[in-house]
Structure 1
Amino acid sequence: MKQRKKALSLIIACILLVNITAITSAATAIGGVPDVDVVLLNQDPDPVEQGDVVEVRFKVENTGTATLDDVELKLLPSYPFTIYSGTATRNIGKLKSSLTGADAAIIDYKLRVDKDAAEGENEIELEVNTGTMTKTYDDGEFMIDIEQYNVPELNVYIKENNILQPNTKGTIAIEVANVDLGDVEFLQMTLLPSEDYKLLSSSDYVYIGNVDSDDTDSEDFEIYVKDVEDGEVSVPIKIEYQDSNEKEYEKTIDLKFSVYSSRDLKKYGLKETNYTGIIILAILAIIVYFYWRRKNRKNKKHA
């Protein structure tokens, strides 16, 4: 008898468990279970330099079985990040379950990285709200890689020069080469005074503007070179510009070029010997000789 009661109790318990499972499944099928997941897809550039702007892209996906009607993504900006453009809160709206084959929502943010940010990985925090639940990502889920900022590298040099001797005038072409990955904006060049030359151009200032990465630009100046003793002419210039982060720079560079004496010009093959005068003298000498010889013969005949 006791064994029958135990068996009957076990059967009743199994029936109740099956019914509860069926009821739960039915409720899920009718209403669904909501859930949402956020994934950091990428950052651009990667890594981002200190003080630069980075674009981060997130994928927001409904991983539950129920459609979410009012999904909202909110960036929680904290050092070293600030919003560069747009707003921190993005209203996604209705988000269907990924089980139905629906696409996830892609959300982009543009953030400014502080110029003194620590190098390496820095956390960015997010919050997603579905109307019925709030999910916060603040435990190192999303990390942005930051590297040390490098000042844009510009090479400045004298590209062309037709002044070879002191106490002469001519033109020098000064070229600026952007050998950096980033562009340079609002570039200005000023020729500074020097005891070695006198400026003949109408202005010592030129506005060049933007110089793209891996590009060059040059400007001409007409000058008169004075009597320099060591044969080296100093041409100091000042350049002013901004990088893509609107950070301003100023740099002074002392450019130099050489001038030579007439003897050195001939020695180095920079100036050809002028034989015109010698040839003219030789011709005159020959004419005088034949004239003298002819006249001398006439005098002998008359004698």
Structure 2
Amino acid sequence: MKKVILAMLFLMPFAFAATMTVLSGQLELASLRYSPQPAEPGKYVDFWLGVSTKARDTLTDVECAVVPDYPFSIDATESANKTIGDMPPYSSAVLQFKLRVDANAVKGDNRLTLKCRTGGYDWGAANTTIYVQPQDAVLTIGKVEANPPEVEPGGMTRVTITMKNDAQTSLKDIALKLDLSSVTTPIAPIGSGTERRIGGLVPGESQSVYFEVMAYASAQPQVYKIPLDLAYADELGKTYEKTEYVGIVISATPRMDVILEDTKIIRPDTGGTVSLSVVNIGKSDVKFLTAKLLPSNAYSLLSPNEVYVGAISSDDSSSIEYKIFVAKDAPHTIDLPVQLTYTDASNRQHTETKSATMRVYTEEEITNMDLEQKAGMNIIVVGIGVAVLLYIGYYLYKRFVKKK
């Protein structure tokens, strides 16, 4: 076995030393230190053992070893036994062992058994402890709930955040801050600030805090990713800081309508074009909109019944046209049911039917209301305009072209 260098014990730090006597007082063992402190599950820890003798005679064939009991083990490339050899009176040696800590090691002091022997004595054993604790104390967000789950522009919601201690050690001085400082975050706290505190959490424990927030009236419907700053400490006083994120959904229910823009159809048993306006009167933009004029006994469709409109922004509209022939027995008031299919700002699909209304008249009503006369007057005005233009053209022709 590999020989080790003899050294004076005072050359090693004694802050963690624990002296044990074995072999009828022939040897003293000192647990000098281990690194890292604390040891971490699933990783290695280096352990230094001090061996000294106060015997008046030289001790021969001195050998020491660690007993690899759970949660400690020795890799195949390492040796659990270290040979010192002969130790003169009042001499000392330092041995180093590389131990693997089991990934499931329990937090706290874990026993490590040591043993030594000499040429004249059998093995003598002693125990020491190594403190094991996960190096990273993990505080996680167990759950985020908003009530209501989605908030409209100008609306309020309560965001409840459940924090869970997933570490094997207790956590304390837990501080949470919901960071709403960004100019791109149209959300403000209501009734209280953006910071919360939790005194402490034992391993596996959860605790909830909540924030009351309001969306700006001008907020655009979408999911907003809000930073949540966390600060806390473990039971050894080591501090941690990290940033998680919570999502707040601002949505607006689309509100669509269809109204009649224009038509030249004034009596039954005639055909023509009806112009309709699809209006977005909600706070959410819509996209991929199609408009489908549904069949009716009051009219027959003379054009395709479905029109692709595309996107319509909030407080905007788009015009669509259909050619129809009104039935002879159509009622005076005719509903034009239009099925709208579209996707909102949250990519949710909607299908709804909105109706525009058009009116047809009896011959008596047409005469009394001068409906056709108005149409005729329009034709007369157009005719006069054309005649004036022709006269001006003829006059210019005679004056300039003919003279040449």
Bigger strand fraction: 2
**Structure of greater Rg:** 2
TM-score w.r.t. the length of structure 1 is 0.47
Which structure exhibits the higher relative contact order, with contacts defined as CA atoms closer than 8 Å and separated by 6 or more residues? 1
Bigger helix fraction: 1
TM-score w.r.t. the length of structure 2 is 0.36
